[in-house]
Amino acid sequence: MNSLHVRKATSGDAAGIVKVLETVASERVYSAIDVVWSVGQEARYLDSISQREAFHVAIDDFQRIVGFQSLDLWSSLLPSMAHVGQVGTFLVPEWRRRGVGHQLWNVTELFARQQAYQKLAIQVRAKNTGAQMFYRGLGFTECGRLTRQVIIDGVEDDELLMEYFL
């Protein structure tokens, strides 16, 4: 079967989300996340997110979580940055380049507009050109670079900053 649906995550989804993260982290090249947090930590995070933050999961026909997209406040402390959100997107390999990222984005972007965000930002590893293409396709533009920001297994990478004005 080839269809899936997107819904808001609950803390009961923590194990499935951590599994996706473990898959991506084990690939070593796509994310700055090299050591994944525990299911309990993820569940506490999901329970703690504010009304203005969102975490959406993509679910396949077998009720498995195959990916997710998060939208967090850039800063939970500074009202001066309440208009800025940060986004993250992660899919298991077999569901990549099949429109799931766009499907998640449609939901996240609508939520961001409803919550009066004015811009969204992301950090993407410089070597992750596929994700940069994806975000560029959504309208994000590159706006900065953190040099040698990530070292995984002794391999350095920069992080690109990209932003999108709603």
Ligand X SMILES: CC(C)(COP(=O)(O)OP(=O)(O)OC[C@H]1O[C@@H](n2cnc3c(N)ncnc32)[C@H](O)[C@@H]1OP(=O)(O)O)[C@@H](O)C(=O)NCCC(=O)NCCS
Binding residues for ligand X (CB under 6 A): 24, 30-31, 89-91, 96-102, 124, 128, 130-131, 133-134, 137
Nearer to ligand X, 95 or 111 (CB): 95
Q: Which residue from 99, 94, 74, 97 is spatially nearest to 84, judged by alpha carbons?
A: 74
Tell me the closest approach of the beta carbon of residue 40 to ligand X, in angstroms: 24
* Contact predicate 54/6, CB 8 Å: no
- Two tokens at 96? 């990549």
The CA angle 107-113-118, to the nearest 5 degrees, is 130
12, exposed or middle or buried, with CB in 10 Å at 0-12, 13-18, 19+? exposed
Tell me the closest approach of the beta carbon of residue 131 to ligand X, in angstroms: 4
Tell me the closest approach of the beta carbon of residue 97 to ligand X, in angstroms: 4
Nearer to ligand X, 8 or 97 (CB): 97
Tell me the closest approach of the beta carbon of residue 79 to ligand X, in angstroms: 27
d(C-alpha 95, C-alpha 99), whole Å: 8
Nearer to ligand X, 40 or 137 (CB): 137
Nearer to ligand X, 59 or 91 (CB): 91
Within the chain, residue ranges assigned H as helices are 14-27, 39-48, 100-114, 129-138
